[in-house]
Amino acid sequence: MAGSGERARHWRYEELPGVDLLRASYVEKIFVRHTHENFVIAAIADGVEVFHHGGADQYAGPGALALVNPDTPHTGRAGVPEGWRYGAVYPSPELVAEIAAETTTIRGTPGFTSPVLDDPYAAGLVHQVLRAAEEGNALAADTLLRVAVTRLLRLNGGPLPQRAVRTAGARIAARARAALEERMAEPPTLERLAADLGTSPFALLRAFRDAYGMPPHTWLTDARVRRARHLLDAGAAPAEAAVAVGFTDQPHLNRHFTRIVGVPPGAYQRERKNVQDGDGGLLVPSRAWQNRQLSQTYAVTTVKAADAVTTVKAADAVTTVKAADAVTTADAKGTADAKETSDAKETSGNPTPPSSGTP
């Protein structure tokens, strides 16, 4: 990875509505504390990512996945001098809940229990989802995404904790958050906000940090970027979005947007426009991804749960998906000694990992 530079593509595939997709290679990139509305499922291909989550630094290397639940504060940076390269999918809470209800026994709101999972097989599935989306293979992309989420929930999933009974501090924090959302473009000072809520600045600061994992000014920046994304998705120009959410100008938005999303707002919006126009194409691809032949087939995946085996199907047979236009044989590259025919079943343990091959 040395000398490869920092490159990223953040896009959507129209056949996976509501799912953000990302390929990135970072060396000096630092993600400030932020949250996502959707789940984060990031498969590390090379290098090491370190991200602060749950009060501690978490490390994810090749074959591991960084898993973050919605609205969970976290950061991100390189854990080794050469940086890290990864692919990520961001499925919505609604989609994950739908998959969990159909394929797992999780009751309540599903989520991930650990922020890092070492599972090269699941990491390979994530890379294959991205590859299928790049090739316009809707059946493969949707199938593999659902298989990946199912596997991750079965290996590392559970019901998210129920919200505790609100204390007086939590109620104050919620009121402060609502006030900041309403006055996002012209927020009050901490002292003024505290006075309006009938508390002191430091009491408000402690309550807000306890409730949302970050101080009010950090939360506000994150919320502004989130709202700017929605405005950009709706077609607003970056300069207009910047002013609308309270940034002084477009460079101010660019700086914070890139530190949280990973790409500048202009590049982000162009990818959205490409989806609407049906004109995909890599915006800032890694040379390795650009030169790689994307003709790999997709292995049939059979996922085993508790007492029953759930086989993900497409049409009326075990899913066999090909990246081109014919039915895939499931002899994915990298499975030298183990061939799977389209009616094969997983016999024991985990199936042979798909070629996570660097995407």
Residue 141, CA distances (Å) to 125, 134, 322 in order: 10, 9, 11
Q: Which residue has the higher pLDDT, 48 or 352?
A: 48
List phi, psi (to 5°) of 102. -85, -30
pLDDT digits (tens, 9 = 90+) for 218-265: 999 999 999 999 999 999 999 999 999 999 999 999 999 999 999 999
**Both structure tokens of 113:** 């229990």
pLDDT digits (tens, 9 = 90+) for 31-46: 999 999 999 999 999 9
Task: Please check the confidence at residue 115 and state whether its pLDDT lies above 60.
Answer: yes
Q: What stretch of H or E contains 326?
A: none
pLDDT at res. 46: 97
Q: What pTM did the predictor assign? A: 0.76
How buried is 341 (Cβ within 10 angstroms: 0-12 exposed, 13-18 middle, 19+ buried)? exposed
Residue 150's closest CA among 104, 94, 95?
A: 104
Rg of the chain, C-alpha, whole Å = 21
The helix/strand/coil state of 36 is: coil
Q: What is the mean pLDDT of residues 114-127?
A: 98
Q: How far is it, in rounded angstroms, from Cα 85 to Cα 262?
A: 13
pLDDT at res. 161: 86
CB 98 within 8 A of CB 327: no
pLDDT at res. 22: 97
Q: What is the mean pLDDT of residues 89-103?
A: 97
Residue 35, CA distances (Å) to 17, 68, 223 in order: 20, 9, 9
Task: Please check the confidence at residue 133 and state whether its pLDDT lies above 80.
Answer: yes
pLDDT at res. 154: 98
pLDDT digits (tens, 9 = 90+) for 288-312: 333 333 333 333 333 333 333 333 3
Q: pLDDT > 90: what percent of the chain?
A: 71
Q: Which residue has the higher pLDDT, 166 or 117?
A: 117
Strand duo 30-34 + 40-47: pairing: unpaired
Report the chain's mean pLDDT, rounded to a whole number: 82
**Both structure tokens of 153:** 């929930």
pLDDT at res. 166: 75
pLDDT at res. 216: 97
pLDDT at res. 204: 97
Give the other-Cβ count within 10 Å of 21's Cβ: 22
CB 329 within 8 A of CB 295: no
Residues constituting the chain: 359
pLDDT at res. 273: 74
